[in-house]
Amino acid sequence: MISLHSQSSMLGRCGRFFATLILSSASLAAHDMWIEPTAFLPDAGKIIGLRLRVGQDLLGDPIPRDPALINQFISVDSSGPKPVVGRDGVDPAGLVRVAAPGLLIIGYRSNPSPIVLPAAKFNQYLKEEGLEAISDLRARQNQTGNDAREVFSRCAKSLVSSGIPTEAEADRALGFPLELVTLKNPYTLRAGEELPVSLTYEARPLPGALVVAMNRMNPAAKLTARTDKNGRVTFRLPESGMWLIKAVHMIPAAAGTNADWASFWASLTFELKSPATGAAAR
């Protein structure tokens, strides 16, 4: 299932950005969270900072390392997973040394945080994030007009590549409750090519979920798709540069959590090569 925006070649980059921001203004109820490495294409041996960002349309604020929030913060390379180190209270929240050439998978999973949203804001957020099933459930339970108590968890990943990428190197599941996994190494792709992505909830494919992809240069020209029965979507990514792919899943909160709903926010960032240069600049 593919849903693509027009590449709108008639628009200048600046004009497109105006357009994208106007669109983004409708999407204000909830904030995305993603990992922004200080370099997506570092040389082996380099240390890179891992900035956690919360915001909208890839305009974000840095989040310092908070040990109370971290459930898992790991990097995975060919030698296996390692904890991401960092200084508490400091941005960037993590530092990682790129030990060897290859694909480095960064994963950050937060502990659940409570939040209370007014009914209107919560309903708007459900609509924006494609969570109609929850809207329907609230309607059936006559809760649409009620404020919502929610606990949200972040499940953010980032892919970093060092050296010459190969198709043999692949993203993989880190065991997060909600998780996006690219089914091809995006560093072997160029702008205009297709990237298949899977979405799992508790290690099982999640069908019918809204997945959104956006590029840093044009963040509101979003690519959107619903996962198929195998929990997969495929995006044709038209632009080079940094991409954010995201999805949100919500379930009724477990008893005893003092919340009505539990949400999970998956994100995945990486950088795509330019088709013109053949290899992304370093």
Partner 1 sequence: MRFPVPSRLHNWSARLVISCLAATVFLPGAMLDAHEIGTTRVSVAFRQSASYEIEIITDAAALVEKLQALSGVPPQSDQAGENASLHSAAVLQMLLKNYDQVFRRRVAAAFDGAAVWPSIDYAVSGTATATSSPVAAIKLTGAVPQGARHFEWTYSWTFATYSLTVATDGDTQTTEWLEGGQRSTPIPLSALRKAPRNRAAIAVQYLALGFTHIIPKGLDHMLFVLGIFLLGRGLRQILGQVSAFTIAHSITLSLSVYGIVSVSPKVVEPLIAVSIAYVAIENIFISELRPWRVALVFAFGLLHGMGFAGVLKELGLPRSEFVTALVTFNLGVEAGQLTVIGAAFLLVGWYCGSRQWYRRLVVVPASVLIACVALYWTVERLSL
**C-beta of 54 vs 76, nearer to partner 1:** 54
Paired with 239 in beta bridges are none
Neighbours of 191 (CB within 10 A): 18
Closer of 91 and 193 to partner 1 (Cβ):
91
* Closer residue to partner 1 in complex, CB, 26/100: 26
Smallest gap from residue 6 Cβ to partner 1 (A) = 6
Interaction residues for partner 1, span 65-84 (CB under 8 A): 66, 69
Is 95 a binder of partner 1 (CB under 8 A)?
yes
Q: How far is the CB of 234 from partner 1 (least distance, A)?
A: 16
What is the smallest separation between the CB atom of 50 and partner 1, expressed in angstroms? Answer: 9
Which of 122, 141, 156 has its CA nearest to residue 250? 122
19 touching partner 1, by CB under 8 A: yes
Q: What is the biggest distance separating any 2 CA atoms in the chain, rounded to whole angstroms? A: 57
Distances (CA, A) of 279 to 48, 196, 203, 241, 242: 20, 21, 34, 11, 14
Site membership for partner 1, residue 197 (CB under 8 A): no
Residue type, 201: Y
DSSP 70-86: EEEEEEEETTEEEEPB-
- Distance, in Å, from the CA atom of 90 to the CA atom of 66, rounded to the nearest integer, reads 8
Residue from 2, 12, 100, 194 that binds partner 1 (CB under 8 A)? 12
- The SS3 call for residue 8 is coil
For Cα atoms 227, 229, 235, give the angle at the middle one, nearest 5 degrees.
30
- Residues in the interface with partner 1 (CB under 8 A) total 72
Segment 207 to 246, residues that bind partner 1, using CB under 8 A: 210, 216-217, 219-222, 224, 241-242
CB atoms within 10 A of CB 172: 12
Of residues 139-178, those binding partner 1 (CB under 8 A):
147
The only residue of 35, 63, 247, 253 in contact with partner 1, by rule CB under 8 A:
63
Nearest distance from C-beta of residue 203 to partner 1, angstroms: 26
* Smallest gap from residue 275 Cβ to partner 1 (A): 14
What the block records as the tokens of 69 is 């929030």
Which listed range, 47-55, 178-186, 245-253, 258-266, lies at the site for partner 1 (CB under 8 A)? 47-55
Angle between helices 132-140 and 119-128 (to 10 degrees): 140
- The answer to the question of residue 31 lying near partner 1 (CB under 8 A) is yes
196 binds partner 1 (CB under 8 A): no
- CA distance linking residue 124 with residue 177, whole number of Å: 24
Q: Which is nearer to partner 1, 23 or 251 (CB)?
A: 23
